Amino acid sequence: MTPQPDFAVNGRFLGKPVTGVQRYAVNVVTAMNRSLVRRGTRARLLAPAGTTDPGLGAMPLVEAAGLSGHAWEQVTLPLASDLPLLSLCNTGPVVRARQAVCIHDANVFEAGGSYSFNFRAFYKLVQPLLARRALTLTTVSHHSATQIARWMPVRAADIVVLPNGHEHALDWHPENAVVAPRLFEGPGALEPGRFILVIGSRARHKNMRLVRDIAPALAARGLEVVIVGGAASIFAGEDLAPAPNVQFTGTIADDDLAYLLGRALCLVFPSWTEGFGLPILEAMARGCPVISSNRASMPEICGGAALMAWPDRPQDWLSHIFRLAGSESLRADLIGAGKARLPSFAWQTTGERYVDLMQRLSSGDPR
């Protein structure tokens, strides 16, 4: 006999473009599905009508017709099931108390200028309500737990930290890259090991201005800059003047990203604030050294496996990049340290802990 589902998952993320938050949700539910299969139990994946079924055997998709977007989440979703609910992408239905909600950060409060007015206003309204009503709040780093507690009615000690993982980046196939190899062809072609890679949108807190400011000094040393990432309507973008040695690729496929990470001198990650900083783990998984901002969650994620710098000190970034360009032993040390860091951040561990949490909610134990 097929077991009855223990809980439901808010599947609104399945119909949205894959950003860091959506990637978290996709990988968490995939890991949860494996855990449920092993345990012989099931959950229900609730999503808007027309959502493509991801084919998770222990988490069958159930379409809930009616409304769309945030209205679907606030009105249709809570009427679709009375099971305990898991929402993984910063928001959930505020009328539902019997749920766990993952709030990735409180950046709309601390870096509000990075976001559009409508996005900022909605999150500032909904997230504190969820923090007050939800039985369990989760987040992706200890830094985020502290940040959330500073702005919302919840103690940091009561927030469950369930971080991002790295395994997805091991499944990328650079041999299948289509766009990235073209950057190494023809006039102005990139040379392996002679460019830095930057991953992120042009949102102001991503600090792309620092990259633009150091570009001329990099050009003087024959180093190029490749910036991967697109714009999104939720962000207030930063206008960057063009530079001869800076290329913007826009959003690219994961296989193309793996191709670039395998050939870059390093990943440069200069953000002012991040809830986690997933590109750091992805670079480490692909054997790419990391130079990171020393703010927010980044020291927690990097440990001792990256070079760190203040996000407002361009000369420090240049010093790290030039050292790395001149030392194969330093690159090898950072690559090795990055690989050793990966087991601390595993999707399978996070997925198992989410299943444990939701089964406790199902049994009436919110701890």
Q: What are 242-297's pLDDT values in tens digits? A: 789 999 999 999 999 999 999 999 999 999 999 999 999 999 999 999 999 999 99
Here the tokens at position 30 are 């995939």
pLDDT tens digit string along 52-75? 999 999 999 999 998 999 999 999
pLDDT value of residue 213: 95
pTM for the complete prediction?
0.94
Locate CATH 3.40.50.2000 in the chain: 5-165+346-362, 169-344
Q: What is the CATH number of domain 5-165+346-362?
A: 3.40.50.2000
Burial 135-157 (b: 16+ CB within 10 A, else e): bbbbbbbebbbbbbbebbebebe
* Beta bridge partners of residue 247, listed in sequence order: 226
Contacts of 299 (CB under 8 A, 6+ apart): 308
pLDDT value of residue 236: 45
The answer to whether 65 and 85 are in contact (CB under 8 A) is no
pLDDT value of residue 364: 81
pLDDT tens digit string along 86-140? 999 999 999 999 999 999 999 999 988 888 899 999 999 999 999 999 999 999 9
Report, at the CATH architecture level, how domain 169-344 is classified: 3-Layer(aba) Sandwich (3.40)
* Beta bridge partners of residue 244, listed in sequence order: none
pLDDT tens digit string along 208-233? 999 999 999 999 999 999 999 876 54
Instruction: Specify the 3-state DSSP secondary structure of 32.
Output: helix
From the CB of residue 170, how many other CB atoms can be counted at a distance below 10 Å? 11
What value does the mean pLDDT of the chain take? 94
